[in-house]
Amino acid sequence: MCGLAGVFDSKPDSLVPPAELVARMRDTLVHRGPDDSGMYLGPGIGMGFRRLSIIDLAGGHQPIANEDESIWLTFNGEIYNFESLRKELSARGHEFKTKCDSEVIVHLYEEKGERCVDDLRGMFAFALYDQRRHRLFLARDRLGIKPLYYGMDSGRLLFGSEPKAILAALPGARRTLNHVAAALYFELHYVPDGHCAFEGMSRLPPGHRLVVEDDGSRLECYWEPKMPSGEEFECDETARNIRHALEESVRLRMVSDVPLGAFLSGGLDSAAVVGIMSRLSDRPIKTFTIGFDETSHDESTAARITAAFHRTDHHELIVQPDVIELLSDLVNAYDEPFADSSAIPTYLVSRFAREHVTVSMSGDGGDELFAGYHRYRKLRQLESLRGVPATLRRVAVRTLDLASASSGARRVRRALSRSLLSFPDDYFVGESFLSQEMREILRPLLEEQFVREPGRNLYLEHARDGDPIAAAQLIDMELYLPGCILTKVDRASMACSLEARVPLLDHHLVELVNRLPTETKLDGNVGKKILRKACADLYPPEIVGLRKQGFGVPLKQWFRGALNSMLMDTLRGKLCRDRGYYDPRLLDRLIDDHVSGRRDRSAMLYGLLMFELWAQRSVHGESA
């Protein structure tokens, strides 16, 4: 796992970029690659690289070239089928100088050009320079496990694994807020792919490639997840096929020249991954769990049960974190506003695991793939509500508007209101964090953007016809999974120089499971039906019936205690108020509502706090 950065000028008579510029961009990513650094410079091209050594520790220096040095590559990720590709390419006469997976891409490009990505199995983001064509080729893996940003400045294309690499090449005055991305952030609590919080910058979407030449650029999709095929599947055979595909995925990801372990929560996904790892290994797997004193946010007991079941070398840490210092670290790590509070335990468990291993498996992706989220069940409940005539539902909504302000009444009203909408509007409304109250608070900053409904339009753009639950899974796979979940895992692990691997997102497994009808995944109110069957022998009986619990933190309590001073100093501080982003009266009321205990406003406050901390640091260069 590594970090890459660079600059490209497509004009044929371009000068060699300054080495100091490329080095400055590259070295913002030292946390992603503390073991080695490299650089390639040529007319119009500068490529920088930071390496975290995982495979071929002695070799593997980048940028790496083909035999005549006409093709140069910087690559972040892991190609799990590189050994079979290497054999095929060697048989065709290609000569290899290293045992690294990155060199395979160079020679595969010589054979197949831009279609080389079709043969790659793994997680990757890379920049490849073709000297003969004076062409830059950027690509990102199918599910978006590894990030890649790019932007234009004075006719040059700047690119990097994180925004900070690109920002290092720009004057400070060029750090301008992208208001559309800001609106999307407040709707979703993350900035989705294809956008960036900084004006003039974008994150390459998953399954896409970007080719830049003198005559222009092309952004192309080379892979996307598919809706169920409509075929009939025999349950036992399907479960066996899924188990085989998952075992193969885990086996491929256990190849490493450095110590390897796994994150272990109390859930089914990480239990399946750890169980298969244990059966493939001749020694106990190192597993890592973070717990909190607050029992409602602690999965350490369930993780301990799973660890004992698989006889792992289990490491557990119950933490009382310095959350003020942690949030400052997260703002620095993410470069964009990010309001999923599970970023806190993900960072803590990554830091804890890095004390023992360099690579860790993760169970991420299982909820999107196997319909594990409660929100998919809610879509089914909305269908039941639609059995009631729409006129009666409208009357009920109006009655509840007038009758009660209790949390139960609000939940019923929201469900009835959503049932009056069609897909994907009903799904978007359920997932959006943007209440009417938040619209009013943010009116000074984002009134124009909210009128255009960027979040709703994004969901419409990614919606498919057919079964709404399957379509919702694909929306999540294209938006929420890469934009939130995988961004969180990448930034948290890389901030600690730890490589995280996600076997549930092997694209062979994803394509197999996506063909299945919803009934094989969601059984009444129970998700992951086919995964439970495929991996039944890997689950301790005690965890099978446990209620799904998010990897969250006790924000409600923290904002009334440990985080209260930071909340007040930031959202009621002079820097915040003088800038005029928010309606101060409404913001004060929101804060008082929560701190007084009248209502839980922690999700909205966390979104505002993380945005303001990011804006002060990254846009305005201020400090509170």
**Residue 437 structure tokens:** 């109250």
Q: What tokens were used for 498?
A: 């730890």
Q: Report yes or no: 26 and 48 within 8 Å, Cβ to Cβ.
A: yes
Separation CA 27–CA 169 (nearest Å): 12
Q: Rounded to the nearest 5°, which phi and psi values hold at 304?
A: -65, -40
**What's the token pair of residue 85?**
């590709």
List % helix, strand, coil for the chain (3-state, nearest 5). 50, 15, 35
Query: Which are the contacts of 405, defined by CB distance < 8 A and separation ≥ 6?
Result: none
User: What is the DSSP-derived secondary structure letter of residue 615?
Assistant: I
Say how far apart CA 179 and CA 195 lie, in whole Å: 11
> Which two structure tokens, joined as six digits, stand for 215?
């005559």
**DSSP secondary structure string for all residues of 412-450:** HHHHHHHHTSPTTHHHHHHH----HHHHHHTHHHHHHHH
Q: What residue has token string 């294809």?
A: 194
- Per the CB < 8 A criterion, the answer to whether 321 and 290 are in contact is no
2, 100, 484, 535: the catalytic one is: 2
**What secondary structure letter does DSSP report for 540?**
-
User: What angle (nearest 5°) sits at the alpha carbon of residue 73, between those of residues 69 and 78?
Assistant: 135
34 secondary structure, DSSP code: B
Spatial CA neighbour of 436 closest among 450, 418, 416: 450
Residue 247 CA to its chain's centroid (Å): 23
| Residue 314: strand pairing partners | 287
Does the active-site annotation cover 116? no
**Burial per residue of 239-260, b for 16 or more beta-carbon CB atoms within 10 angstroms, e otherwise:** bebbbebbbbbbebbbeeeeeb
Helix (H, G, I), strand (E, B) or coil at 547: coil
With b for 16 or more beta-carbon neighbours within 10 A and e for fewer, the 78-107 pattern comes to: bbbebeebbeebeeeebeeebbbbbbbbbb
Separation between Cα atoms, residue 542 and residue 383, nearest integer Å: 32
In the numeric block, the tokens 């039906």 are attached to: 529
The rounded distance, in Å, linking the Cα atoms of 415 and 393 is 10
The alpha-carbon radius of gyration of the chain (Å, integer) is 24
C-alpha 552/C-alpha 567 separation (Å) is 19
**C-alpha triplet 101, 509, 144: angle, nearest 5°:** 60
* C-beta pairs of 393-401 under 8 Å, 24+ apart in sequence: 393/419, 393/420, 394/420
Residue 243: helix, strand or coil by DSSP?
helix
* Closest C-alpha to 151, from 165, 132, 130: 165
Strand order across the 156-160 sheet:
36-42, 45-51, 2-8, 156-160, 149-153, 201-203
Identify whether 18 is preceded by a cis peptide bond (ω within 30 of 0).
no
Q: Which residues are the active-site residues?
A: 2
